[in-house]
Structure 1
Amino acid sequence: MQADLGDLNAFLAVVRAGGFRGAARTSGLSASSLSEAIRRLEARLGVRLLHRTTRSVAPTEAGARLIERLAPALAEVEAAVEVVNAFRDRPAGTLRLNVPVVAVRLVLPSILPGFMAAYPDIKVDVVAEESFVDVLASGCDAGIRYEEKLEQDMIAVPIGPRVQRFATAAAPAYLDRRGRPERPRDLLGHACLIGRFASGAMTNPWEFERDGEVVRVEVQGPLVVSVGAATDLAVEMAVAGAGVIQLFEDWLRPHLATGALEPVLQDWWQPFSGPFLYYSGRRLVPPPLRAFLDYIKG
């Protein structure tokens, strides 16, 4: 049974956007055209693919099974077509990256301006997401993550700074009021600002390291924020004197430089390896991604 490729792409766009209006914005098609494409596809396949409500849509069980096979297949079709770019004088197309917010803040700003100047025919589409994802299923060419356990067919390439540190800090006024910790376990008596990942896991315990000794402290505090989406709120709360924060040193550096935040337990700040760009080894590397790989390796 044949299905129109355009209708399949429309179905995938609607599911990824969570609705017809969102898909219309990202695909350039009208909501009515997308709705008609889904109706044609459902009629051709003889099954219902979407649960529709007035506010959102969600795939049925049949729709979810179709997506599992469809997203990688369409990504492979797109990669095959983009191979033609190798015959152009300059690579062209779209580079889709799935990255955490910290990479948006601390990694990409030092890379993308030069890359986009060197490859003006490549459009960069960045999706900020904290959870580790299958880049093919998400419709992206590559992702950026920190020391994740990758599937065997994923390839990881270093990108950005190779060594970073977690910094612990608080506003001087807070430390004047509550005291300055001298050892990691002193934080048990302090108000700490904690992050929560999309998985539900907390950025707790906090880890410290000095002279090979690693100390983990189960901190407590008055505020929990979503990692990435609400991290800036935690930073601003720390600056306002609400408590102690532990975060990437580069993220806190502007506030440390102005004195709005004061380093805490600086001798114990823990270093860790920098991020990696990861992509699938199951597919041909599309020219935009190949150009990006060459750029960051150069």
Structure 2
Amino acid sequence: MKIDLPNITAFVTVARAGGFREGARISGGSASRLSDQVRRLEAELGVRLFNRSTRSVALTEAGEGLLNRLSPALDEMELALDVVNSFRSRPAGTLKLNVPVSAARLVLPHFIPPFLAAYPDIRVEVITEENFVDVLAEGCDAGIRYDESLELDMIAIPIGPRTQRFAAAASPGYLEKHGMPEHPRDLLEHACLRGRFASGTMISWEFERGDETIELNPGGPLLVRPGGGTDLATHAACMGTGIVYLFEDWLQPYFDSGALVPVLADWWPRFPGPKLYYPGRRLVPTPLRTFIDFIKSRPWPNDQAKEKPRSE
């Protein structure tokens, strides 16, 4: 059976995007053209691949089976074309990254603008996701996560600061009213602004000084999901609602402006910085290889042990 490759590509695009409109946005085409191509493919195969309604598009069982068999072949085809691309004088293509919001805010601004300026033929797409995902299944080239989230078959290289710290902070007004905690356990008597992952797991507050390590789950009036809710927790802390616990780099601008004051700075725990990770079982696409070489050549500014700010 001879099947037109553009029709197959249209099917995979719609299936991965979850709909014709999103598929058209990603591919730069039109939804009506994708719909026509998928209908032609269904007619050629003699089977329905999508269940369509006015509100949703979902793969049929036959569609899921076809997608599972086609995806590896199309991925290999893209890599084969990318080998040709590597012979170009200027690297080109799309680099798709899956990163947490913290990396999009604190790490990527150092790399992405100069990278795009240096390689104008490369397009970068950034997807923010707090949970660890299979980058291949999500159609991404690479991701950014921390060591505890990485699988064994992944290649990981440092990106951003080699060491980071979690920090606790509160507004001057809150501390004037409720007092400055002297020990991490004092936080159990304070209003703490907490985070909870989509899985339902609460984010523990960890502190360390010397050989002593303390893990707490204090109560408080506000609970947010990391990523989208982090700015809300920070704003609430600035308004005097309670004590917030986040990346030190995230809170540093508020320390600099005086909107927030460091709390228990002698207890802030250090941890290894983020890693750029990608599957080790496949060839590295040219845009990703170019990005890897770029971040290796661009050291993180002031990547050294930071002086602990003094509590006020």
Deviation readout 1:166-216 (Å, 9 max, x if unpaired): 11111111122222211111111122111222333221x211111022101
Deviation at 1:47, TM superposition (A): 4.0
> Match of 2:106?
106
> Match of 2:221?
222
> Match of 2:36?
36
Deviating more after overlay: 9-18 vs 225-234: 9-18
Deviation readout 1:204-263 (Å, 9 max, x if unpaired): x21111102210111112212121122111111111111111111111110111110111
Q: Secondary structure at the match of 1:277?
A: strand
Q: 1:17 aligned to 2:17? A: yes
State how far apart, in whole Å, the 2-side matches of 1:68 and 1:245 are. Answer: 44
Q: Secondary structure at the match of 1:124?
A: strand
Deviation readout 1:138-167 (Å, 9 max, x if unpaired): 111111111144344321111111100011
In 2 relative to 1, CA 161–65 (structure 1 residues): closer, same or farther, beyond 3 Å? farther
Q: Which runs of 5+ in 2 are unaligned?
A: 298-312
Alignment of 1:232-251 (within 5 A): 232-251=231-250
Aligned AA for 1:60?
A: T
Identity of aligned residues (%): 64
Alignment of 1:1-298 (within 5 A): 3-203=3-203, 205-298=204-297
Conserved in 1, the CA contact under 8 Å of 2:132 and 2:149?
no
Q: Secondary structure at the match of 1:214?
A: strand
TM-score normalised to structure 1 length:
0.92
In 2 relative to 1, CA 77–265 (structure 1 residues): closer, same or farther, beyond 3 Å? same
State how far apart, in whole Å, the 1-side matches of 2:72 and 2:223 are. Answer: 36
Conserved in 2, the CA contact under 8 Å of 1:71 and 1:136?
no
Deviation at 1:65, TM superposition (A): 4.2
Aligned AA for 2:229?
A: A
State how far apart, in whole Å, the 1-side matches of 2:221 and 2:65 are. Answer: 42
Q: Secondary structure at the match of 1:199?
A: coil
State how far apart, in whole Å, the 1-side matches of 2:47 and 2:132 are. Answer: 31
Q: Secondary structure at the match of 2:143?
A: strand
In 2 relative to 1, CA 198–52 (structure 1 residues): closer, same or farther, beyond 3 Å? farther
Question: Root-mean-square deviation (CA), in Å?
Answer: 1.9
